[in-house]
């Protein structure tokens, strides 16, 4: 196993527990490993990462997409969805190339999908440039949570230009990655049938910080939230009448 792994989320890292659990698992199981989490600004990390005893091995890079020079242009382009998506993607591509280039050498990068664009392209380009300068190219792994083009399809429809382009890129560029993991067997089969990819299913499981509460603990919690016995009794005594027309 490599000594430095990068975990990349094109979203708020704090809202991606699965990727945080990847980081936590690697930190716990490989005592000499360095982990770098890269993602957008936002929520705090899960408590086990915040309180991790060897915190020096965890590096967190928060990317800000706001820019006083580009905000006006992006607001104008928002009215033209295709141009807005292209310019936003191009801006993010250069940001990612910069952040990935200045990091210490790493041998594996794990990218969350959706979305993996333009992260996959940035990662691939940085790897090729590093290889040109004599640095060993890192391996790429995609963690498939879902299909990226489906995010556009739900709001724009399956025949929209952006949906078609997104699906084409997702199907044809995903083979750039060296490894693939996914959240279900159904998604694994889709990747095999549509992208000719061999993925490993890694189910989401509750972390050790979660536990089952006993009856006394549940009763105590509900009482603190105001769900008293009297309130439940009032609800159970409500009579419901049939307002329909009986035949």
Give the rounded percent of residues in the chain with a pLDDT score beyond 90: 54
What pLDDT does 236 receive? Answer: 52
Residue 198 is predicted with a pLDDT of: 97
What pTM, to 2 d.p., does this model score?
A: 0.78
* CB distance 116 to 148 below 8 Å: yes
Give the pLDDT band (50/70/90) at residue 241: very low
* 80 membership: H or E segment, kind and range: none
Q: What is the mean pLDDT of residues 101-130?
A: 92
Sign of CA dihedral 68, 73, 74, 76: positive
User: DSSP character for 35?
Assistant: E
pLDDT, average across residues 75-98: 71
Confidence at residue 151, expressed as pLDDT on a 0 to 100 scale: 80
Does position 208 have pLDDT exceeding 90, yes or no?
A: no
- The yes-or-no verdict on residue 103 having pLDDT over 90 is yes
Give, in order, the Cα–Cα distances in Å from 133 to each of 101, 130, 160, 179, 199. Answer: 12, 5, 41, 24, 31
The neighbouring-strand residues paired with 141 are 110, 179
Please write the tens of the pLDDT for every residue from 140-155.
Answer: 999 999 998 888 788 8
On whether the CB atoms of residues 74 and 87 are closer than 8 A, the answer is: yes
Q: Percent helix, strand and coil across the chain, each rounded to 5? A: 50, 15, 35
Q: Decide: helix, strand or coil at residue 122.
A: helix
List the 4-12 sheet strands across, edge first: 58-63, 34-40, 4-12, 108-113, 139-144, 179-182, 200-201
Per-residue pLDDT reduced to its tens digit, 32-42: 999 999 999 89
Q: 11 or 241: whose pLDDT is higher? A: 11
Residue of 117, 120, 145 lying closest to 201 (CA atoms): 145
Average pLDDT over residues 65-82: 51
**173-207: per-residue pLDDT in tens?**
999 999 999 999 999 999 999 999 999 999 987 66
Beta carbons within 8 Å of 75's beta carbon, 6+ residues apart:
none
Q: Of 135, 72, 56, 127, whose CA–CA distance to 97 is shortest? A: 127
What confidence tier does 16 reach under pLDDT thresholds 50, 70, 90?
very high
**How many CB atoms within 10 Å of residue 88?**
16
Out of 57-61, 93-97, 150-154, which region has the weakest mean confidence (pLDDT)? Answer: 150-154
Strand 108-113 with 58-63, pairing: unpaired
Say which residue the tokens 């490989």 belong to.
30
User: Chain-wide mean pLDDT for the chain?
Assistant: 83
- Between 159 and 108, name the one with better pLDDT: 108
Report H helices in 133-209.
Answer: 148-156, 161-173, 185-195
Structure tokens at 37: 């989490």
Q: What is the pLDDT of residue 72?
A: 47
Q: Which of 3-12, 101-110, 141-150, 216-225 has the lowest mean pLDDT?
A: 216-225
- Average pLDDT for residues 104-127, to the nearest whole number? 93
| Neighbouring C-alpha atoms within 13 Å toward the C-beta of 22 | 25
């Amino acid at each position: 196993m490599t000594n430095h792994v990068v975990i990349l989320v094109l979203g708020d890292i704090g809202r991606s527990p699965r990727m945080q659990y990847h980081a936590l698992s690697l930190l716990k199981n490989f005592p000499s490993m360095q982990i770098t989490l890269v993602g957008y600004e936002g929520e705090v990390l899960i408590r086990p990462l915040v309180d991790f005893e060897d915190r020096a091995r965890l590096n967190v890079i928060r990317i800000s997409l706001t820019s006083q020079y580009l905000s006006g242009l992006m607001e104008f382009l928002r009215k033209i969805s295709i141009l807005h998506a292209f310019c936003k993607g191009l801006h993010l591509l250069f940001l990612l190339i910069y952040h990935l280039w200045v990091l210490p050498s790493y041998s594996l990068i794990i990218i969350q999908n959706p979305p993996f664009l333009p992260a996959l392209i940035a990662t691939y380009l940085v790897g090729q440039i590093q290889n040109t300068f004599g640095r060993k190219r890192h391996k790429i792994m995609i963690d498939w949570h879902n299909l990226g083009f489906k995010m556009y399809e739900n709001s724009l429809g399956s025949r929209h230009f952006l949906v078609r382009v997104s699906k084409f890129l997702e199907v044809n560029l995903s083979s750039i990655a060296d490894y693939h993991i996914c959240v279900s067997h159904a998604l694994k089969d889709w990747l095999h049938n549509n992208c000719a990819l061999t993925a490993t299913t890694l189910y989401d499981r509750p972390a050790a910080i979660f536990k089952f509460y006993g009856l006394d603990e549940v009763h105590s919690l509900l009482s603190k939230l105001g769900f008293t016995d009297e309130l439940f009794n009032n609800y159970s005594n409500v009579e419901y009448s049939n307002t329909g027309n009986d035949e």
